[in-house]
Amino acid sequence: MQLLFEEGGEIRAATVLGQQGETWQAEMPGGKRTKIKARDVLLQFEQPGAAQLLNDATGLAAEVDLDFLWECAPEEEFGFAELASEYFGAGAGVVQQAALMIALQGAPVYFRRKGRGRFTRAPEEQMRAGLAAIERKKQQAMVQAGYEESLKAMQLPEAFRGKELQLLFRPDKNSLEYKALDAACTALAMSPTRLMVAVGGIANARALHEARFLSECFPRGTGFPDLAVPAPPAGLPVADTPAFSIDDVTTTEIDDAFSVQPLADGTVRIGIHIAAPGLAITRGDALDAVARQRLSTVYFPGDKITMLPDAVVDRYTLQEGRLCPALSLYVVIDRATQQVLSAETRAEQVQMAANLRHNLLDDDVTEAALAAGTGTFPFRDELAILWPFACALYDGRQQARIASGLKPETQSRADYSFYLDTQEDGTQRVRIEQRKRGSPLDKIVAELMILANSTWGRMLADAGVPGIYRAQKAWGINRTRMQTYPAPHEGLGVAQYAWSTSPLRRYVDLVNQWQILAVAEHGITAKLVAPFKPKDADLLAAVADFEGTYAAYAEHQSTMEKYWCLRWIQQENRTRMSATVLKEGMVRFDEIPLLTRVPELAQAGRGTQVMLEIMGSDEIGLDLSVRVLEVCAGGDAAALDNAALDELEQEMAEGDPLAAEDIETPAETPESRSGTADVATDAFPEDVPEAASKAAPTASGGADDTAPPAA
């Protein structure tokens, strides 16, 4: 005997082997044996066999006219056998009955199941709506299939235009476009980013990296609301001595400047002048809201996204030929001992005499020229006074570093500047220029900025006014941190360090400037009137938000520098390049600031020089394929000395983008290189499951408040 039964919502047939009470023992057409409860049995029959019945009934069920069947069905509940007699006629056999059962079971739009083999027809309105939905899904499936075929043919469907970035970074996974993209990626074994670049949805790898960053950090775009530019307060005193700045040739956010005034008693008054947007922007106003949201200017080769609107930057930048509002720190020094005798802070206007550009002066402003008082460069006499003072400040910091258990800072590593030149055909060529750390102009800017940040940090602490400090321990993981109370920065060798010298491009500095202005004006009562009081929740939140946002900006800068390093290799048709082994197979190229891991050099000694063959590069995954051609001797003859190698390894181990800001050479400005840490070839997670190598991201800082790197 044969049985037609229902199991798990499926109609099945089997041959009976035996029966025990209410349970049948049966064998399925494939040979599998099963137990069937009597309540699940729909039909009992002798012929045809189970397999034949299912085959014939399934074919017949496909021919059933469901619209006509719905018309034939009674209004009230019915059984499948009853409706089979109506549809096929009174003589409907077991095959017809089984076919009708299969048809009813497979047509939930037309019929509602009421029990085992029992149904009722769906209301006409619901049935028509269900049929419309099915037709709509069929049409959507056809459209999706068309999208998928276009993508697999490396063509961008027209419907995808304008949605490319959304599909990659903020997709609606229920949309036809996303489903088609996902299916095409699976079929082609490609990541969505690679496929979108391949089909022309995104122009190139550079556009992809930039779009990814903007989607994550600037989802509403990079434009500013239409805000008025506030004027500085009237009645600010005018400084006695004109000032000059020292920056990269491309710098537009000029935050800092200097003045030198010999005094009658043989001492010298040195002025450190910082742009003062804090005189006009106030906590809680519209510009503060903009700066609080962005927290920092974003720098990367060839472009930047400013923290403040261009009109505000232009109004408060220390532009030559203008009288500019500034927060000034004046220190009086003894030229014989280079000791600081007194310090004073005031808000004033400074006459900017010149914006010096270190790119144009480094060859002329040398140690020998400053010592001899020779040369024809501008502000020669002033620089000759600043140079020994900067050296004395540097020496004092080195003694403090040694007392903390650290080695003296090394200045043997090279820094790099990225410049993009637009060609006549509209393409861009990248120039990566190398320069050594520790030039006189570098050291003057760095040491005076460290002096200002540490002096103002102490002033806030003495007045009991909270600020945002950078603290660093000599040893341990996560040793560099930001906090609202003073603590030593052992890497720089100062007792406290509060970022205060870049208020046009960093929100932390703007906050500290407000606090410093309050102390300068109100003295010991400043904590009663300062914008931020002790334990202010908004101040703590700003610190937390800044660290995360700043790290994201630094990571983007690092990403774009990796990209341009790979572009430089292709542009220059470099097939061979020399490199220096750091540790565990990580090597650093000698001509560009790029790190990559070479597994076959895992056992090579630190400082070993190697010649690598460039096999290929991946601008999307930011990966470089190399092969070792020659291994040379290491040791003291290496391009990098041991101190510089120690420094590189330390930066790689820490992976702290904020720490790099403190140890950045000052001559590198945000608009050109904006950082000094080497960038490692790496891959995005969707392209490679685990990154092959990782170096500390470069900081998106400027050239005003940092020192050469700690060893």
| Stretch (H or E) spanning 457 | helix 440-463
CA–CA separation, 214 vs 618, rounded Å? 21
Tokens 């334990």 appear where?
A: 535
Residues near 382 by beta carbon (within 8 Å), at least 6 away in sequence: 244, 258, 259, 260
pLDDT in tens, 210-245: 999 999 999 888 999 999 999 999 999 999 999 999
Which residue ranges in the chain fall short of pLDDT 70? 411-413, 436, 474-478, 633-711
What was the pLDDT predicted at 264?
87
CA–CA separation, 631 vs 612, rounded Å? 9
pLDDT in tens, 334-360: 999 999 999 999 999 999 999 998 878
CA–CA separation, 106 vs 257, rounded Å? 81
What was the pLDDT predicted at 649?
53
3-state secondary structure 682-705: CCCCCCCCCCCCCCCCCCCCCCCC
- pTM (predicted TM-score): 0.78
What was the pLDDT predicted at 682?
43
Cis peptide before 192 (omega within 30 of 0): no
CA–CA separation, 6 vs 2, rounded Å? 13
What was the pLDDT predicted at 647?
54
What was the pLDDT predicted at 481?
86
Q: Are 281 and 315 in contact (CB under 8 A)?
A: no
CA distances from 399 to 342, 385, 396, 471, 642 (A): 22, 22, 5, 18, 20
CA distances from 546 to 538, 553, 578 (A): 12, 10, 38
Nearest residue to 666 via CA among 485, 447, 509: 447
| Stretch (H or E) spanning 624 | strand 623-631
Residues near 678 by beta carbon (within 8 Å), at least 6 away in sequence: 588, 593, 594, 595, 648, 651, 695
What was the pLDDT predicted at 495?
93
Half-sphere exposure of 622 (CA within 13 A, CB side): 27
Kindly report the number of other CB atoms within 10 A of residue 273's CB atom.
29
Mode of pairing for the β-strands spanning 480-483 and 469-472: antiparallel
What was the pLDDT predicted at 246?
92
